[in-house]
Amino acid sequence: MFDKPAGLTRRFFATLTDYFIIGIIFLLPSLSLLPFLKVGNTTEANYPLVNMFFYLIIAGLLYNTVVGLYQIYFTSRYAGTLGKYLWGLKVVDADTKKNIDIKTAFYRVFVGHTVSIVFFGLGFWSIVKDPEKRGFHDKLFSTRVLTHSGILWGVLSLIAAVVALAAITIALISKILLILG
């Protein structure tokens, strides 16, 4: 039963799990697409570091957009992302304890998280001091994150995601070094 407010640590690890899962999904295609990357005319294409810079900017923008859309969809549809599910968390309306709608999820993710992080993450750190464990983004959009007791699946999934992401990153760096060398 989801009845206790979720603390900062569990929320942090759930978010970290989400970022690793999406990172894995993002990096896999990069391994096969990287050798074909060409930016600019043929003169600029002879500079692999310039290509890499543009690739990283485009990938970063796309990654953050995908993360935002993923959070919005899963939070409104299933009361949380895969990471939150694995860590035993649920995002609900503060009053009704029902799933939040897509509009609230959108504003909570894009506006609420921005407000929470602006001053060195104080909006997130406020979760530690708040008796209901609500951050600025939770208070702004009348949400709360609830939990139940188990964390085993969260810990196991985070370890698996870290190992997989490390392996993919090593493979990606190897390919980059081959391209540059």
pLDDT above 70 as % of the chain = 86
pLDDT above 90 as % of the chain = 57
Residue 164 in this model has a pLDDT that exceeds 60? yes
Residue 79 in this model has a pLDDT that exceeds 80? yes
Where does the pLDDT of residue 51 fall: very low under 50, low under 70, confident under 90, or very high at 90 and above? low
- The helix (run of H) or strand (run of E) holding residue 143 is strand 143-147
pLDDT computed for residue 101 by the predictor: 97
Q: Which amino acid is located at 102 in the chain?
A: I
Region 156-161: what's the mean pLDDT? Answer: 93
Where does the pLDDT of residue 80 fall: very low under 50, low under 70, confident under 90, or very high at 90 and above? very high
pLDDT computed for residue 59 by the predictor: 79
CA distance 117 to 120: 6
Range from 48-52, 112-116, 131-135, 163-167 carrying the lowest mean pLDDT:
48-52
**Per-residue tokens: 102:** 């897509």
Range from 19-28, 34-43, 108-117, 128-137 carrying the lowest mean pLDDT:
34-43
Range from 90-94, 117-121, 124-128 carrying the lowest mean pLDDT:
117-121
